[in-house]
Chains A and B, each alone.
Chain A
Amino acid sequence: KNQVEQSPQSLIILEGKNCTLQCNYTVSPFSNLRWYKQDTGRGPVSLTIMTFSENTKSNGRYTATLDADTKQSSLHITASQLSDSASYICVVSAGTPLVFGKGTRLSVIA
Chain B
Amino acid sequence: SAVISQKPSRDICQRGTSLTIQCQVDSQVTMMFWYRQQPGQSLTLIATANQGSEATYESGFVIDKFPISRPNLTFSTLTVSNMSPEDSSIYLCSVEGGHEQYFGPGTRLTVT
Contact = CB atoms under 8 A, between A and B. Distances in A.
Contact of B42 (A4, A32, A45): A4
B52 interface: no
Interface in A91-110: 91, 96-98, 100-103
Contact of A49 (B92, B99, B102): B99
B67 interface: no
A60 interface: no
A41 interface: yes
B65 to A, nearest CB: 18
Interface string B34-54: 000000111111001000000
Contact of A97 (B45, B92, B102): B45
Contacts of B40: 102
A32 B99 contact: yes
Interface residues of B, number: 20
Interface residues of B, dominant DSSP: strand
A53 B84 CA distance: 45
A41 B42 contact: no
Interface residues of A, number: 19
Contacts of A103: 42
A44 B103 contact: yes
Contacts of A96: 45, 48
Interface string A1-13: 0001000000000
Nearest to A31: B99
Given A96-B48, A100-B43, A43 B101 contact: no
B78 to A, nearest CB: 14
B53 to A, nearest CB: 15
Contacts of A34: 101
Contacts of B106: 41-43
A43 B105 contact: yes
A4 B102 CA distance: 20
Contacts of A41: 105-106, 108
Interface of B: 4, 40-45, 48, 58, 92, 94, 99-106, 108
